[in-house]
């Protein structure tokens, strides 16, 4: 291979890698850490006054069918992020929701933007475990990330399980600044 052809081939590979990396960030967003480390101490980020109030009034009992979905989701905690992934070796956000619901005989569309139209749109204060939350991680109003409501705290705090690009499958809170600002809406599909 000539030096010019070799250099051109290398440039194309670099461009392809850049495009793939960009699509990963856009497809399922990125997660911001809930805590910061300083001198071996962990400081939890506290809800600030600049965040929207995104709490739920749910305080009822979670049906066993939804508990089954949540247990299946929990078994994947720590699974790495993989663009286009929908197996235990790696998930993207919508691949994760499809897999978890599929294991419970529920069918969801593959893309997060299509999942955002499934079921019934609900107000955030009506959210309960098993509902889906949608986010615009790149700003604006285009759905680019999805998570499953995991639990509601006694103070109404909504925690959700999802496949983040930086940490894989984790549980996050709508009280975290990044997710609070990116939140779009909730859907009930069950």
| Catalytically annotated residues | 93, 145, 162
Pair of tokens at residue 99: 């897999």
How far apart CA 81 and CA 126 sit, in angstroms, is 30
Distances from the Cα of 139 to the Cαs of 113, 142, 151, in angstroms?
A: 14, 8, 26
How far apart CA 181 and CA 87 sit, in angstroms, is 29
CA angle 54, 60, 62 (to 5 degrees): 100
**Reduced DSSP (H G I as helix, E B as strand, rest coil) percent helix, strand, coil of the chain, to 5:** 30, 25, 45
CB 104 within 8 A of CB 72: yes
CB 168 within 8 A of CB 91: yes
């Amino acid at each position: 291979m000539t030096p010019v052809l070799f250099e051109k081939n290398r440039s194309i590979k670099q461009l392809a890698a850049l495009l793939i990396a960009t699509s990963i960030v856009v497809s399922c967003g990125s997660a911001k850490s809930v805590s910061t480390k300083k001198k071996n101490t962990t400081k939890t980020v506290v809800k600030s006054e600049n965040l929207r109030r995104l709490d739920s009034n749910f305080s009822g009992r979670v049906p066993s069918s939804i508990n089954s979905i949540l247990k299946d989701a929990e078994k994947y905690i720590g699974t790495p992020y993989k663009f286009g992934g929908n197996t235990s070796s790696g998930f993207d956000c919508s691949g994760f929701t499809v897999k978890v619901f599929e294991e419970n005989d529920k069918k969801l569309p593959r893309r997060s933007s299509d999942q955002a139209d499934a079921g019934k749109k609900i107000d955030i204060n009506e959210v309960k475990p098993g509902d889906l939350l949608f986010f615009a991680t790149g700003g604006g109003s285009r759905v680019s990330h999805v998570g499953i409501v995991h639990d509601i705290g006694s103070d109404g705090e909504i925690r959700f399980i999802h496949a983040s690009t930086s940490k894989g499958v984790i549980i996050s809170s709508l009280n975290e600044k990044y997710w609070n600002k990116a939140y779009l809406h909730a859907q009930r599909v069950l």
